[in-house]
Amino acid sequence: MRRPAARLAPSLAAATVALTLAACGAIAPGPTPDDVASPAPLTGFAARFVGSSHEPAPEATVRPTPGTWDDVALPAGYTIVVVTRGDDAATATLTDAVERYAAEHGADLTVLEARSDDDVERRIDEAVAATPDLVVGVGDGVVDVFALITAQYLETDFLVVGAQLPEPTHNVTAVVWPGAEFRGTGLGNDDAHPAAVTAERAREAVAAGAASVLHDLTGIVIELG
């Protein structure tokens, strides 16, 4: 008469374990979507620049409100390092635009020239070692290396002017416009067209990009009309 009770013992033990596990799960439920805090709405310059109170998604393309960056001033002692590669007219125009912007805003500027991919990598390393507020990449020739190296320096803000990276990390911002949208070798975008990279458009791009970074709108692509 004791055999049926013996056969029930394992089943009762298994049931007890199952109830215990279920109780533990009930005590510590996983987070729900309602528990995840929403990003704070954009205000002030950031909201005017983006044209919305919603923060742009990572890698989003933003068409900023023209002129919102005109009155943005850099903090005293702001430092910029430019990494430039190429002797074409577009690269020269963009480099000159960064130099003019730095002079007008009292920023400390260093220009590092590169002649090859290896040079670009060395210049990025040098730029980051100097701990500037912003590292600017100028010329289609820097894009391929920037795409590989900038993710290694996530604490440094990078700005690419007149081109963009295919998969930028949160610390890389780009400014593009029709005729200046190169994304890297073999990705289907033509090199910058000299006629599109005018002095006026280059200065506008540098000012918009710097203002965006200064207000923590990074990891996005700024598209000028």
As a whole number of angstroms, the distance between CA 137 and CA 124 comes to: 9
Task: Give 89's contacts (C-beta < 8 A, 6+ positions apart).
Answer: 194, 197
Burial tier of 3 (Cβ tally within 10 Å: 0-12, 13-18, 19+):
exposed
| Of 52, 110, 47, the residue nearest 84 (C-alpha) | 110
Three-class secondary structure of residue 57 per DSSP: coil
| Of 144, 87, 133, the residue nearest 110 (C-alpha) | 133
As a whole number of angstroms, the distance between CA 58 and CA 173 comes to: 10
Which residue stretches of the chain have pLDDT < 70? 1-39
- Written as six digits, the tokens of 220 are 């996005």
As a whole number of angstroms, the distance between CA 24 and CA 13 comes to: 17
pLDDT value at position 187?
A: 83
Contact indicator for 49, 215 with CB cutoff of 8 Å: yes
DSSP states along 158-201 = EEEESB--SS--TTEEEEEBTTB-B-STTSSPPPPPGGG--HHH
pLDDT value at position 22?
A: 44
Beta-bridge partners for 108: 79
As a whole number of angstroms, the distance between CA 136 and CA 120 comes to: 12
pLDDT value at position 30?
A: 54
pLDDT value at position 40?
A: 80
pLDDT value at position 48?
A: 92
pLDDT value at position 139?
A: 86
Contact indicator for 53, 41 with CB cutoff of 8 Å: yes
End-to-end CA distance of the chain: 90
Residue 59's CB is within 10 A of a number of other CB atoms, namely 17
pLDDT value at position 32?
A: 53
As a whole number of angstroms, the distance between CA 224 and CA 33 comes to: 35
